């Protein structure tokens, strides 16, 4: 490919709407163009990178017996009604009517389509296990698309669905897929991912993992143990906090006029937030019923845990009814009608400050075990920096941001049961197959690689996914043998199977090098009047770790050798 023909423009200015490195560099480098909120077109460099990522994914999916298929983007809503998700999923599911007035959806995931495809195709236990996958466009109507390709509305995703005759077989295959994912991220140049336990969300099922790139630009919050390597999405991470050793004190009503926040309360009484008990109020979406969660003042409620416990949707209470003393609520003598829930952080606490359910008054000396006997404690808290690791028991939890680049779920029979997929088991009984599902967002993976591998001047693409393998810069091509040397090298590299970008434009060295930095090709070959005069070319690595003159006649084998070496850096063990 010659740069003079490459569609797309590169520029220096950071566009106002771009916040994170991958969004900035991939916009400035002519990889992507924003079409609408969370919707992008890809220029050729990005298309080439995604094609290489997809090829890696295909190889690893095929290696674990995957069969590539294709599901529709637009589907009749009837499929989603069969599974129940037409009603249960929120407005991120894009619903519309076709010209005949039929309800349709745009696929944001394809469990229903997968079951529909194979529902009648595997009637016997002997047909199991099998896995089908596709790489296809999806649409998720995100309210807050941002971060370039990190959080979009339309995206290309590899989604795989496995079918099994037993939970044990699913678990065996799940482990296989887990390892395939490790290989994919290593091969794509993202070796520093971690896998974390995660919530299965709207997918259903119990066991799920997310593959995360640790990055400040990430939207997910992760709880990690520095000591034992435990890792979980904060959505599901168990919260264990130590209780400081305090003796019981008598319960005493104190006047705290206008002291409605934990901060104000701590300041007034000179206590630390972990010696307070707060009430966080929610309403159930369906019944509007009030839910009061009592939790230690220094902790936050994890709404995902709360939803999973209640098995229904909730939202923060903004109704502000007259019989609730907002700002002064506590578990003692809470008289308004509400479901009262107690976080585990209160179980062993004593001598705390908490609301007295009366405006401008608190209790001090509150000991939950003494003052609220016979209540159950559950884990409703978001874990935090310094919490106790649920795995090794050390007080070593740290909190980090991550970008989710893949996820795997054990779905169980949620979809096969709802959609009536059955097979006859060895014993002659009809059963529903057990499913797993496995996703990787292709565009987000590309952006994540850019997040992990860039400098101030542009992306530094790993060789296995680089848009081209070598980038020839012909400086002052009109002088001496520059053009003929560059032309000959371009032809020779193409002929030897190397993917080459050739900057043949009559532009300054400054423009040529800054464009090359933005395109991030791992190897650069500079030809100038100076090098041509000496019969050499200059071979430079994009990551600045090499800069070397090579005789023009030996350039092709030298470059090919370097490419092999750089490809080899990303071979899984």
Binding site for its own copies (CB under 8 A): 1, 4-9, 30, 33, 35-37, 39-44, 46-48, 50-51, 65, 67-76, 78-79, 91-92, 94, 96-100, 102, 104, 106, 113, 116-118, 120-122, 126, 130, 132, 134, 136-137, 139, 141, 143, 153-154, 156
Residue linked to tokens 């926040």: 261
- Is the CB of 61 or the CB of 349 nearer to its own copies? 61
| Nearer residue to its own copies within complex by CB, 40 or 173 | 40
Compute the least distance from the CB of residue 457 to its own copies, in Å.
21
Q: How far is the CB of 317 from its own copies (least distance, A)?
A: 24
Q: Which helix (H) or strand (E) segment is 434 a member of?
A: strand 434-441
CA distances from 265 to 68, 259, 271, 276, 365 (A): 60, 6, 8, 9, 14
Three-state SS string across 467-536, please? CCCEEEEECCCCCCCHHHHHHHHHHHHHHCCCCEEEECCCCCHHHHHHHHHHHCCCEEEEECHHHHHCCE
SS3 69: coil
**Separation of alpha carbons 219 and 215, rounded Å:** 9
- Nearest by Cα to 449 from 398, 457, 441, 158: 441
Least distance CB 41 / its own copies (angstroms): 5
* DSSP-assigned letter for residue 14: P
CB of 273 to its own copies, least distance (A): 37
Residue whose tokens read 């400098």? 455
Q: Which is nearer to its own copies, 121 or 339 (CB)?
A: 121
- Cα dihedral 364, 367, 372, 376, rounded to 10, equals 130
245 cis-preceded (ω within 30 degrees of 0): no
Rounded to whole angstroms, how far apart are CA atoms 139 and 144? 14
Pairing of strands 220-225, 397-412: antiparallel
Minimum distance from residue 282 beta carbon to its own copies (Å): 23
Nearer to its own copies, 30 or 330 (CB): 30
Nearer to its own copies, 198 or 469 (CB): 469
Instruction: Compare residues 92 and 385 and give the one whose CB is closer to its own copies.
Output: 92
Considering beta carbons, is residue 100 or 497 the nearer one to its own copies? 100
CA 401 to chain centre: 10
- Residue whose CB is less far from its own copies, 53 or 566: 53
In the complex, what is the shortest distance from the CB of residue 74 to its own copies, in angstroms, rounded to a whole number?
5
- Give the nearer residue to its own copies in terms of CB position, either 2 or 534: 2
Contact 110, 419 (CB under 8 A): no
Q: How far is the CB of 136 from its own copies (least distance, A)?
A: 7
**Least distance between its own copies and beta carbon 73 (Å):** 5
Residue closer to its own copies, measured from CB, 155 or 294? 155
Q: CA 557, CA 165: separation in Å to the nearest integer?
A: 52
Q: Which residues contact 168 (CB under 8 A, 6 or more apart)?
A: none
Contact residues for 456 (Cβ-Cβ < 8 A; gap 6+):
none
| 309 sits in which H/E element | helix 303-310
CA distance 323 to 357: 9
| Residue 7 C-beta: closest distance to its own copies, Å | 5
CB of 55 to its own copies, least distance (A): 11
Q: Judged by CB, which is closer to its own copies: 282, or 468?
A: 468
- 227 or 483: CB nearest its own copies: 483
Q: Least separation, in Å, of the C-beta of 216 and its own copies?
A: 28
CA pair distance 103, 117, nearest whole angstrom: 20
Toward its own copies, which CB reaches closer, 83 or 367? 83
What are the distances in angstroms from CA 20 to CA 84, 215, 241, 250? 37, 11, 34, 53
Q: Which residue has the tokens 């693409």?
A: 461
- Minimum distance of its own copies from residue 142's CB (angstroms): 9
Which pair of tokens denotes residue 481?
């043998």
Shortest distance, position 228 Cβ to its own copies, whole Å:
39
Q: At 535, list the tokens.
A: 């019969």
Nearer to its own copies (CB atom), residue 107 or residue 390: 107
Which H or E element spans position 186? helix 167-187
Residue 440, Cβ density class (10 Å: 0-12 exposed, 13-18 middle, ≥19 buried): buried
CA 7 to chain centre: 31
Q: How far is the CB of 415 from its own copies (least distance, A)?
A: 15
Length of the chain as a residue count: 573
How far out from the chain centre does Cα 525 lie?
Answer: 36
């Amino acid at each position: 490919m010659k740069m003079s023909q490459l569609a797309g423009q590169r520029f220096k200015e950071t566009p106002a709407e771009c916040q994170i490195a991958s969004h900035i560099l991939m916009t400035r480098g002519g990889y992507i163009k924003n079409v609408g909120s969370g919707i992008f077109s890809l220029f050729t460099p990005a298309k080439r990178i995604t094609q290489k990522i997809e090829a890696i994914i295909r190889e690893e999916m095929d290696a674990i017996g995957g069969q590539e298929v294709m599901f529709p983007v637009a589907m009749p809503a009837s499929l989603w009604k069969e599974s129940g998700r037409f009603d249960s999923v929120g407005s991120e599911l894009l619903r519309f009517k076709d010209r005949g007035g039929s309800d349709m959806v745009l696929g944001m995931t394809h469990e229903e389509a997968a079951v529909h495809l194979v529902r009648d195709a595997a009637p016997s236990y002997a047909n199991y296990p099998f896995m089908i996958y596709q790489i296809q466009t999806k649409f998720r109507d995100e309210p807050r698309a941002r971060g370039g390709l990190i959080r979009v509305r339309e995206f290309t995703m590899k989604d795989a669905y496995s079918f099994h005759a037993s939970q044990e077989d699913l678990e065996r295959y799940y482990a296989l897929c887990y390892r395939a994912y490790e290989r994919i991220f290593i091969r794509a140049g993202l070796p520093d991912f971690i896998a974390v336990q995660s919530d299965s969300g709207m997918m259903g099922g119990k066991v799920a993992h997310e593959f995360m790139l640790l990055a400040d630009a990430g939207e997910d919050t992760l709880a990690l143990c520095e000591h034992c390597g435990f890792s979980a999405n904060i959505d599901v991470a168990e919260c264990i906090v130590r209780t400081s050793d305090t003796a019981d004190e008598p319960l005493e009503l104190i006047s705290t006029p206008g002291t409605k926040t934990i901060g104000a309360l701590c300041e007034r009484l000179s206590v630390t937030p972990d010696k307070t008990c707060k009430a966080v109020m929610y309403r159930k979406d369906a019944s509007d019923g009030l839910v009061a969660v009592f939790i230690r003042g220094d902790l936050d409620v994890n709404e995902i845990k709360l939803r999973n416990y209640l098995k229904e949707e909730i939202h923060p209470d903004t109704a502000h009814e007259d019989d609730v003393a907002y700002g002064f609520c506590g578990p003692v003598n809470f008289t308004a009608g509400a479901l009262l829930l107690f976080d585990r952080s209160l179980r062993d606490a004593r001598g705390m400050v908490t609301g007295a359910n009366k405006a401008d008054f608190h209790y001090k000396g509150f000991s939950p075990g003494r003052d609220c006997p016979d209540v159950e404690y559950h884990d409703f808290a978001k874990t935090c920096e310094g919490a106790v690791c649920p795995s090794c028991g050390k007080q070593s939890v740290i909190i980090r941001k991550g970008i989710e680049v893949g996820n795997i779920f054990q779905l169980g029979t949620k979809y096969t049961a709802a959609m009536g997929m059955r097979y006859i088991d060895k014993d002659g009984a009809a059963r529903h197959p057990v499913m797993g599902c496995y996703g990787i967002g292709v565009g987000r993976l590309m952006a994540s690689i850019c997040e992990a591998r860039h400098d101030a001047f542009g992306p530094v693409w790993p060789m296995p996914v680089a848009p081209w393998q070598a980038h020839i810069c012909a400086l002052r091509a009109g002088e001496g043998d520059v053009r003929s040397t560059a032309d000959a090298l371009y032809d020779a590299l193409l002929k030897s199977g190397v993917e080459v970008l050739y900057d043949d434009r009559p532009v300054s060295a400054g423009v040529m090098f800054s464009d090359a930095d933005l395109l991030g090709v791992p190897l650069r070959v500079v030809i100038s009047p100076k090098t041509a005069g000496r019969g050499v070319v200059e071979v430079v690595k994009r990551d600045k770790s090499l800069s070397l003159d090579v005789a023009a006649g030996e350039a092709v084998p030298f470059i090919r050798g370097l490419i092999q070496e750089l490809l080899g850096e990303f071979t899984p063990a």
